[in-house]
């Protein structure tokens, strides 16, 4: 245990040492980017001695979530210390034509796709062909915004951290109404703005996808081709793809489901948010996502070097609204920020890197716990919020936190299974439950 603690201390020190170099690798310092979070990060709280995860317990919970049709299907991956502890499917791909979800069943990732956009851009910065402070109009000179000189001010880092200055979810309703992406980028010339680029946070899908135009201008490859070439193939993400055609061409894929008066109904996926590929275009299996977790926990340095990871995961802009909502957020999150395609959370004094996603009958949540070399991802093919509490349950277990219950007792498991290991509520206690959902 002393050796493990020593390794953890060394690793934290290494990241602290590498971060300034990572951010300055192209003569840039993140703390000098416009709107960057300029604060000293709190040191992680001491970890408990017991570190072994009860993976079988989490698999039992996943099995209970799909039992009796509570949700149609689910896939979960857990990696730690460079090893895949679990990567399995549960339930069915389609209630009308039930086939078991397995490790290679493909799901739509929705906004988990943003982590790929940030990462491929970072690889180009690492190559020296792009900078975090490069301006959008250097690559898309025709782009305009309503505020004078705003278009010329917007940087690569602003786009990937949702600091474009536009109002929250600008043009999402147009995307849902089948508008095409390029016509919406032209409409941004007259769109209202809350601030100048780099000065405030507002979550985006259309504006975030401007990064695809920059990648194309820089590489000559379509955005999806660049991600496939730089990420999917090197990491062995053999089931991963982009777009509606990509998921429909998969050997086995999970259909989206919504509730009706008679239960779950499967649908044909809509093409809408696939039109903003950097924001929401990726399809992947849980086997693929296990490889993605391994890479982002630092065990594929041949593809993603440590300095790049430190840069991608570093907080840039405060997002205080993220500490509200589900009960685990209210209880656990002390602060929340956005990084470069990832969220950075203070989870009861511990740094957690996170992203969630939801689109038309698909949901997902993904988290990295650097202190534990731990990565977790959940994907499910329904609009249900029920599985959302499993992710904080796993984080609690890894951190030895025992004062919360984030899963609904209606899934039919005893309290000692739902709570973090080592804690069972007293009889009559008011458990804090929630059908937590990702953003």
Over residues 294-306, the pLDDT tens digits come to 999 999 999 999 9
- The span from the CA of 250 to the CA of 244, in Å, is 10
pLDDT tens track for 394-430? 999 999 998 888 998 778 777 667 766 554 444 333 3
Contacts of 59 (CB under 8 A, 6+ apart): 76, 86, 88
Residue of 126, 157, 146 whose CA lies nearest to 26: 126
- The span from the CA of 380 to the CA of 353, in Å, is 20
| Domain tally, the chain | 1
pLDDT at 61: 96
Look at strands 317-318 and 282-285 and give their pairing. Answer: unpaired
User: Is 227 within the bounds of a domain?
Assistant: yes
CATH of the domain at 362: 3.40.710.10
User: Is 439 within the bounds of a domain?
Assistant: no
pLDDT tens track for 215-247? 999 999 999 999 999 999 999 999 999 999 999
pLDDT band at 43 (very low <50, low <70, confident <90, very high): very low
Q: Are 230 and 240 in contact (CB under 8 A)?
A: no
- The span from the CA of 405 to the CA of 423, in Å, is 10
User: Is 436 within the bounds of a domain?
Assistant: no
User: Is 428 within the bounds of a domain?
Assistant: no
Q: Could you tell me the residue range of the domain that residue 42 belongs to?
A: 2-418
Q: Coil, helix or strand for 91? A: strand
User: Is 102 within the bounds of a domain?
Assistant: yes
User: Is 224 within the bounds of a domain?
Assistant: yes
Strand order in the sheet with 333-338: 83-91, 73-80, 374-380, 362-369, 350-359, 343-347, 333-338, 317-318
User: Is 434 within the bounds of a domain?
Assistant: no
Token duo for residue 423: 């804690």
User: Is 435 within the bounds of a domain?
Assistant: no
- The span from the CA of 223 to the CA of 60, in Å, is 39
| Mean pLDDT, rounded, for 149-173 | 97
Q: Are 216 and 223 in contact (CB under 8 A)?
A: yes
pLDDT band at 174 (very low <50, low <70, confident <90, very high): very high
């Amino acid at each position: 245990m002393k050796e493990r603690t020593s390794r953890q201390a060394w690793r934290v020190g290494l990241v602290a040492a590498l971060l300034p170099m990572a951010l300055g690798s192209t003569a840039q310092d993140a703390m000098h980017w416009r709107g960057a979070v300029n604060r000293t990060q709190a040191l992680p709280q001491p970890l408990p001695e017991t570190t072994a995860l009860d993976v079988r317990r989490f698999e039992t919970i996943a099995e209970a979530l799909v039992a009796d049709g509570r949700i149609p299907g689910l896939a979960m991956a857990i990696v730690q210390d460079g090893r895949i502890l679990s990567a399995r499917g549960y339930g069915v791909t389609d209630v009308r034509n039930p086939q078991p979800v397995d490790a290679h069943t493909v799901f739509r990732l929705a906004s988990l796709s943003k982590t790929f956009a940030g990462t491929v851009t970072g690889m180009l910065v690492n190559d020296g062909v792009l900078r975090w402070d490069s301006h959008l109009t250097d690559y898309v000179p025709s782009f305009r915004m309503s505020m004078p000189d705003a278009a010329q001010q917007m940087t690569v880092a602003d786009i990937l951290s949702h600091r474009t200055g536009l109002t929250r979810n600008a043009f999402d309703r147009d995307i849902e109404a089948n508008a095409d992406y390029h016509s919406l980028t032209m409409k941004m010339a007259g769109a209202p703005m809350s601030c100048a680029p780099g000065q405030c946070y507002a979550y985006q899908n259309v504006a975030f996808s401007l990064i695809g135009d920059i990648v194309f201008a820089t590489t000559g490859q379509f955005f999806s081709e660049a991600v496939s070439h730089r990420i999917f193939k090197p990491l062995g993400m053999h089931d991963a793809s982009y777009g509606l055609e990509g998921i429909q061409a998969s050997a086995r894929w999970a259909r989206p489901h919504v509730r009706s008066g008679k239960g779950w109904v499967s649908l044909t996926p809509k093409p809408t948010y696939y039109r903003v590929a950097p924001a929401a275009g990726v399809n992947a299996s849980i086997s693929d996502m296990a490889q993605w977790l391994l890479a982002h926990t630092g065990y594929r340095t041949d593809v993603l070097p440590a300095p790049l990871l430190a840069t991608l995961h570093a907080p840039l802009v405060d997002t205080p609204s993220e500490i509200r909502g589900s009960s685990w957020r209210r209880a656990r999150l002390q602060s929340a920020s956005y990084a470069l395609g990832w969220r950075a959370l203070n989870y009861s004094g511990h740094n957690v890197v996170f992203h969630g996603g939801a689109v038309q009958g698909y949901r997902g949540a993904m988290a990295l716990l650097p202190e534990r070399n731990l990565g977790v991802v959940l994907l499910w093919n329904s609009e249900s919020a029920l599985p959302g509490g499993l992710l904080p349950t796993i984080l609690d277990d890894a951190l030895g936190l025992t004062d919360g219950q984030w899963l609904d007792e209606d899934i039919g498991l005893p309290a000692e299974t739902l709570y973090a290991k080592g804690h069972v509520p007293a009889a009559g206690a008011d458990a804090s439950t929630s059908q937590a959902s990702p953003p």
